[in-house]
């Protein structure tokens, strides 16, 4: 059978081949040109210049351009070749990974072992600082591949490919799990107590510093280093702390997970290529072997987790926890030790700056509104959590933000919501298995869900994150007892007293078993991270405030008109008006009255805030007010409005005695908390200590 084709003769089927009268296969296709001198359109291109799939893949990625040009004869690297610079960098990393009991560090090479096609050049360094030497080991016979300062895209690839529980969410963030530990382990954090730290650090009752000896630290360090060297690859980040270039700290983080490397890429300050070339030896090194436990039989160990700081060696070792926040807060503790030695105050605070250069510091524990109030679209954000105050002004310690995600919504926290995109790490969140949309209300893994993102993801972030000296120091308290005023102007001594106290209150719902308000105190609004005695930080704060003319304020974002359960939570709109008045300076020119017991100066009027709530004794709860009283007030309001005698009705606590008793109760709790600081001398005499005590509640 034959198909003759169409009239124009585009093609035709030739007759099928037959054998023994039977046809086999399809007919041959014969193509014919429509016109002899017309050529068909050809959209083909030359074939790729690759002979194999691997070669094709190698063409997909081009080598990075030289980071910075070789400088002139005066530069530190002026006569250094790229190969020599590469060798020195690997030597530095090998030295960081060196065991203290062997003569050389491990053989290190850059790159992913899965992509290494040929034997790399060996780089290791001698190490003679500790005896005895045990000679060669199995780890000395292998390469340790170093994935050095990878980009977020590269770290995504590593996490997705090698770390179970890593996924890309619908907004592009990297979702990951921190393992069994979903929060910090403060009882497993230890500091080496030696001849230097014996006298410098705060030890004993109330101190967050749990001591360990040098030998135990070295045992744990050896365990961590041996674990990291046993791996085919480790991640190394060289980054900075503190945006003030004059006082920054060089940090190196050695870790086993892409999650940890990306987390620290976001949270520390990212060096420019030129800064990375000049990085040299780090000032502080973290060995994160969190997937490997410590030895429970080692002295001082009480669990499989240990976070160890050695300030003399400038090293931190992490064993038995993969929670990334341990690295962030561990480095914060380090700055709390190193910065005061340079006469720089390290602070656990938020910080923003107005368009006129007026800087405000915000201190507050969880639930006080520190993040909400320091994030103001009319002002620039310098940072949300950790800062330094030096002779140059204020500077953010970090390069990113570590925000809580539980119950996050676009309406309540639009900046955080929009920051959760490509490059951001979201920890322990739950998401839809198909759409990958995160359910921020789901607490199946933990309530402590978090997002870590670069500060550049916040639209109104000030870059670089530095500012002039603060004009206002705002201490936030969520007073669930309902007796502290919405705002008070503080003297220097009062600022020191309330800074050392670090007060807020827990209410039902914040922790299991809490049925009524419970006062909680955290020295310097961050007791878990301070290294020196709280009074030292307070004295530095007062000195800087006095020198630069800053004013202290105590702002209550808690209850008014009664305690939790009978009063009402302070309206956020009123608190924002108060903060605006502080920023503008109008609160400095208004008239003040003094409260009893705490002796606080409270303003008599603030624009946009009802004057009756400014003094707690003049406020009233509407929740437990008898119906007859509500009726009388309703009638009274009509009479007053009719007579035109007053613009507003002044309301009071239902029971003034209840108010006074509650006020005295809270004052007693402050006094009891301060007993731990009574016998600590500031300087050569007790004058300053006595001045601070006199600024507390007086019965």
Token pair, residue 403, equals 């925000």
Could you say which of 145, 252, 329, 489 is catalytic? 329
Residue 571 annotated in active site: no
- DSSP for 662-689? HHHHHHHHHHHHHGGGTT--BTTBSHHH
Helix (H) or strand (E) segment spanning residue 327 = helix 325-341
Question: Within a 13 Å sphere around the CA of 200, how many CA atoms are in the beta-carbon half?
Answer: 16
Could you say which of 371, 488, 560, 566 is catalytic? 371
**Cβ-contact 364, 475 below 8 angstroms:** yes
Could you say which of 188, 244, 385, 479 is catalytic? 385
Nearest to 321 by CA among 257, 250, 251: 257
Nearest to 497 by CA among 206, 691, 360: 691
Could you say which of 124, 189, 370, 379 is catalytic? 370
Which long-range contacts does 75-83 make (Cβ < 8 Å, 24+ apart)? Answer: 76/278, 77/277, 77/278
Could you say which of 303, 366, 593, 648 is catalytic? 366
Could you say which of 124, 145, 184, 233 is catalytic? 184
**Cβ-contact 230, 374 below 8 angstroms:** no
**Cβ-contact 478, 556 below 8 angstroms:** yes
Whole-angstrom CA distances from 667 to 169, 367, 523, 660 are 49, 21, 17, 10
Nearest to 465 by CA among 370, 368, 359: 359
156 by DSSP, 3-state: which? helix
**Cβ-contact 282, 253 below 8 angstroms:** no
Residue 232 annotated in active site: no
- DSSP for 176-194? E--TT--S--GGGEEEE--
> What does DSSP assign to residue 569?
E
The answer to whether the peptide bond before residue 17 is cis (omega within 30 degrees of 0) is no
Chain length of the chain = 699
b/e string for 265-277 if b means 16 or more Cβ within 10 A?
A: bbbbbbbeeebbb
Find the angle CA(226)-CA(99)-CA(198) to the nearest 5 degrees. Answer: 105
Which long-range contacts does 412-415 make (Cβ < 8 Å, 24+ apart)? Answer: 413/372, 415/375, 415/458, 415/459
Nearest to 472 by CA among 361, 312, 328: 361
587 by DSSP, 3-state: which? helix
Beta bridge partners of 439: 430
Residue 370 annotated in active site: yes
Neighbours of 636 (CB within 10 A): 11
**In which order are the strands placed within the sheet that holds 345-348?**
345-348, 386-390, 393-396, 466-467
259 by DSSP, 3-state: which? helix
Token pair, residue 35, equals 């016109």
Could you say which of 102, 336, 387, 450 is catalytic? 450
What is the rounded end-to-end Cα distance, in angstroms, of the chain? 116
Nearest to 358 by CA among 462, 476, 490, 468: 468
Residue 366 annotated in active site: yes
Give me the helices (H) in 551-626, please: 572-584
What residues contact 507, with CB distance under 8 A and at least 6 apart? 480, 514, 517, 518, 564
Residue 577 annotated in active site: no
Residue 184 annotated in active site: yes
Could you say which of 190, 221, 233, 348 is catalytic? 348
Residue 655 annotated in active site: no
In the structure, how many helices (H) and strands (E) does the chain have? 16, 36
Whole-angstrom CA distances from 296 to 207, 300, 315, 697 are 24, 9, 21, 46
Catalytic residues: 184, 329, 348, 366, 370-371, 385, 450
């Amino acid at each position: 059978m034959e198909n003759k084709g169409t009239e124009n003769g585009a093609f035709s089927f030739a007759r099928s081949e037959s054998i023994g009268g039977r046809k086999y296969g399809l007919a041959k296709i014969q193509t014919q040109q429509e016109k002899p001198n017309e050529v068909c359109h050809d959209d083909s291109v030359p074939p790729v210049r690759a002979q194999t799939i691997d070669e094709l893949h190698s063409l997909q990625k081009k080598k990075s351009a030289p980071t910075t040009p070789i400088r002139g004869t005066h530069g530190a690297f002026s006569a250094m070749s790229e190969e020599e610079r590469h060798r020195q960098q690997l030597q530095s990393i090998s030295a960081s990974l060196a065991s203290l009991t062997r003569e050389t560090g491990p053989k290190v090479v850059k790159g992913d072992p899965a992509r290494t096609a040929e034997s790399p050049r060996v780089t290791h360094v001698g190490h003679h600082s500790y005896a005895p030497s045990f000679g060669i080991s199995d780890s000395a016979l292998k390469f340790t591949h170093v994935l050095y300062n990878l980009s977020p895209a590269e770290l995504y690839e590593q996490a997705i490919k090698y770390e179970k529980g890593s996924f890309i969410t619908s907004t592009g963030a990297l979702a990951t799990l921190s393992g069994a530990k979903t929060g910090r382990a403060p009882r497993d954090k230890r500091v080496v107590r030696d001849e230097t730290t014996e006298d410098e650090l705060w030890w004993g009752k109330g101190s967050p510093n749990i001591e360990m000896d040098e030998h135990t630290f070295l045992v744990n360090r050896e365990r961590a280093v041996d674990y990291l060297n046993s791996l085919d690859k480790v991640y190394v980040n060289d980054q900075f702390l503190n945006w003030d270039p004059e006082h920054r700290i060089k940090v190196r983080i050695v870790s086993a997970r892409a999650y940890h490397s990306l987390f620290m890429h976001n949270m520390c300050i990212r060096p420019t290529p030129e800064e990375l070339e000049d990085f040299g030896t780090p000032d502080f090194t973290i060995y994160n072997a969190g997937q490997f436990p410590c030895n429970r039989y080692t002295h001082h160990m009480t669990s499989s987790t240990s976070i160890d700081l050695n300030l003399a060696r400038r090293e931190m070792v992490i064993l038995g926890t993969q929670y990334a926040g341990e690295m962030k807060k561990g480095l914060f503790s380090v700055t709390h030790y190193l910065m005061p030695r340079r006469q720089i105050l390290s602070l656990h605070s938020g910080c923003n700056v107005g368009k006129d250069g007026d800087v405000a510091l915000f201190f507050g524990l969880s639930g006080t509104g520190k993040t909400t109030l320091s994030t103001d679209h009319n002002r620039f954000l310098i940072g949300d959590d950790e800062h330094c105050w030096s002779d140059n002004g204020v500077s953010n310690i970090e390069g990113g933000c570590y925000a809580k995600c539980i119950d996050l919504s676009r309406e309540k926290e639009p900046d955080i919501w929009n920051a959760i995109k490509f490059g951001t790490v979201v920890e322990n969140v739950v998401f839809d298995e198909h759409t990958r949309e995160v359910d921020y209300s789901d607490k199946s893994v933990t309530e402590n869900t978090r997002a870590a993102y670069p500060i550049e993801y916040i639209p109104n972030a000030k870059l670089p994150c530095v500012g002039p000296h603060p004009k206002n120091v705002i201490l936030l308290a969520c007073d669930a007892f309902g007796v502290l005023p919405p705002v008070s102007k503080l003297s220097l001594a009062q600022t020191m007293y309330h800074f050392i106290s670090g007060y807020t209150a827990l209410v039902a719902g914040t922790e299991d078993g809490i049925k009524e308000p419970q006062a909680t105190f955290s020295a310097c609004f961050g007791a878990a991270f301070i290294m020196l005695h709280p009074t030292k930080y307070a004295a530095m704060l007062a000195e800087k405030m006095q020198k630069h003319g800053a004013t202290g304020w105590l702002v209550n974002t808690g209850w008014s008109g009664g305690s939790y359960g009978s009063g009402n939570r302070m309206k956020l709109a009123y608190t924002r008006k108060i903060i605006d008045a502080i920023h503008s300076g109008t609160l400095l020119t208004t008239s003040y009255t003094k409260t009893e017991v705490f002796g606080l100066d409270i303003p008599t009027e603030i624009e946009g805030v009802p004057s009756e709530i400014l003094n707690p004794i003049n406020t009233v709860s509407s929740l437990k007010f008898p119906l007859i009283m509500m009726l009388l007030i309703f009638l009274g309001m009509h009479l007053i409005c009719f007579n035109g005698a007053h613009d507003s009705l002044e309301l009071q606590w239902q029971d003034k005695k209840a108010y006074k008793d509650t006020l005295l109760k809270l004052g007693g709790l402050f006094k009891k908390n301060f007993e731990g600081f009574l016998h600590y001398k500031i300087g050569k005499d007790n004058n300053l200590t006595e001045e601070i005590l006199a600024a507390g509640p007086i019965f």
